Amino acid sequence: MIGLPRPRLAWRGVLASCLLLGLTTHSGSVAAQVNVEVLRNDLKQSGFGSKLDASFSTFMGNTQGITLGASALIGFSTGRHLAYLNASGNYSHLSQETQVSNSFVHARYNLRLNPWLLGELFGQLEADRFRRIALRRLLGVGPRFEILDLEHLGICYGMAYMLEHTELSQGTQPVRPSVVHRFSNYATITAHLDGERVELSKTVYYQPRFDEFGDYRLLSVTGLDFEITGVLSAGIMATLRFEDPTPLDVKRTDFSLKNTLGVEF
């Protein structure tokens, strides 16, 4: 571990929301998991923060239909405590067929134990029509190690015990027990560029089962955020998911690329 100055521990709460009007591009059916490390860094500077992304497209002619997408990210902290909530959903219906239908809610609480160690408690709900997930519930607890915490660069690693319960869509053949115990690991790096007007973040998750390491998930979330003005921002987020095993007619790999333009307060 690298000895570093103690980060500021002011309440980081989100009491206001940001409305973003954006253009969103999807490939595959990845649920819109957001890299919350960007919010963590914003909270260190402002003491509170929130973010709301939204997109809507309609098509007529050779292609007919609509695409909808929205995500909300809010966080607050005080003293040794930090908490945030992320919720998102995506829907696409084109040429009389539904291509994307998913939703995602994630809540996390952190308790700072010393300048480089935090305890984490988190819960999550997820549904995805095309991955045959009617409802997946997660609950986890574990430590987070802040390996490097400089003004323009941060690196951390987290691990947790995670209890998972999955209900598959009707008629889907199960590939694992409905309740499993996983060893969740993640590593993240964030960098501030161009006088903090540009923020680059990368988080990778690896989550095998304790009793069957061949049953695992990999998730990579890469984000690039640009501050255009004090209130106008743009961003790009790439999400890659690999899950093994999956139901017979579900691909193991999903990828999405999302572009947003919005307003933040």
Contact 146, 153 (CB under 8 A): no
Question: CB-side exposure of 143: number of CA atoms within 13 Å?
Answer: 8
Q: Quick check: is 161 in a domain? A: yes
| DSSP code per residue over 111-176 | EEEETTEEEEEEEEEEEEGGGTEEEEEEEEEEEEEEEEE-SSEEEEEEEEEEEEEEEEPTTPPPSS
Q: Quick check: is 12 in a domain? A: no
What pLDDT is stored for residue 237 in this prediction?
Answer: 83
Q: Quick check: is 13 in a domain? A: no
Tens digit of each residue's pLDDT, the chain (265 residues): 334 333 333 333 332 333 333 333 333 334 444 556 666 766 666 677 777 777 776 777 666 788 887 778 888 888 889 999 988 888 888 777 777 788 899 999 999 999 999 999 999 999 988 889 999 999 999 999 999 988 889 999 999 999 999 999 988 999 999 999 999 999 999 998 877 788 899 999 999 999 999 999 999 999 888 888 877 778 888 889 999 999 988 999 998 887 776 666 5
Q: Quick check: is 8 in a domain? A: no
Single out the residue of 101, 52, 26, 9 nearest to residue 264, CA to CA: 52
Q: Quick check: is 92 in a domain? A: yes
Cis peptide before 245 (omega within 30 of 0): yes
> Position of tokens 């095993």?
245
Q: Quick check: is 160 in a domain? A: yes
Q: What's the total number of domains in the chain?
A: 1
pTM over 0.95: no
What pLDDT is stored for residue 91 in this prediction?
Answer: 84
What residues make up the domain containing 148?
A: 20-263
Amino acid at 100: V
Q: Quick check: is 3 in a domain? A: no
Looking at residue 86, which CATH number applies to its domain? 2.40.160.40
Q: Quick check: is 230 in a domain? A: yes
The dihedral sign for the CA sequence 125, 72, 64, 29: negative
